[in-house]
Amino acid sequence: MVDPVYEVLARSALVSLTASLVAATIGIPLGTWLALARIPGRGFVTALVNTGMAVPTVVVGLFVALLLWRSGPLGDLGLIYTVRGMVIAQILIALPLITSITMAAVQLLPPELPGHLRSLGANRWQVVARIWVEARLPLLAAAMAGFGHAISEVGSATIVGGNIHGHTQVMTTAIVENVGRGEFGVALVYGGVLLSLAFVVNGLLASVQQRGGAWARR
């Protein structure tokens, strides 16, 4: 049985938006900490994060699948071939990108800003919150990049999700499947719909970003 397009689309959006949201929740604080902390080993962690951006999604999918496999260390959780398993894989895919862009965004702010905010009487959390406000535009770009990376990947979605109709099929795996069957027309429809979804989400974020940029230049 073939899933209706809207159902696959909704699943794609759910998986990638959830994964991007969770990755941003972890990646933005992590990137901020890496940008501001003066601790030994920071360079090593930064190198790891940057390497994470270059890891193919199919490799991420392989590692997540090995962990979640029924006989694997987290097999008891029953997450293999589930939407939740796919979300976990996509979090790992989006996380290095969001962390790395956040780090760069915070490092682009005036280096004296944290000390300046402290000298104005901010406590630690107020300093971090203000830094995020000041870097809001690139942080939004980080979230957009994370979402774009997650929704366009096919490797981990295939391996971890299994492309099960009615359960784990998403837009990218549906495209691959239809191309495999020689149904290029259907694949093109899926591709167009996927592009539209990416365009709408990124368009919304970009309009927020542009409004923020325009205000700062006024």
Minimum gap (Å) between residue 45 Cβ and another protein? 24
97-to-12, 92, 218 alpha-carbon distances in Å: 19, 9, 31
Task: Select 89 or 105, whichever has its Cβ closest to another protein.
Answer: 105
Nearest to another protein of 117, 159 (CB atom): 117
x-or-dash pattern for another protein, window 123-142, by CB under 8 A?
Answer: x--x---x--xx--------
> Per CB under 8 A, which region of 58-66, 173-181, 182-190, 209-217 contacts another protein?
209-217
> Least distance to another protein from the beta carbon of 218, Å?
5
Residues 101-120 that bind another protein (CB under 8 A): 110, 112-113, 115-116, 118-120
Angle (CA) 196 199 202, round 5°: 150
Q: Report in angstroms how near the CB of residue 123 gets to another protein at its nearest.
A: 6
- Confirm if 197 and 143 have CB atoms less than 8 A apart: no
- Name the site residues for another protein (rule: CB under 8 A): 110, 112-113, 115-116, 118-123, 126, 130, 133-134, 215-218
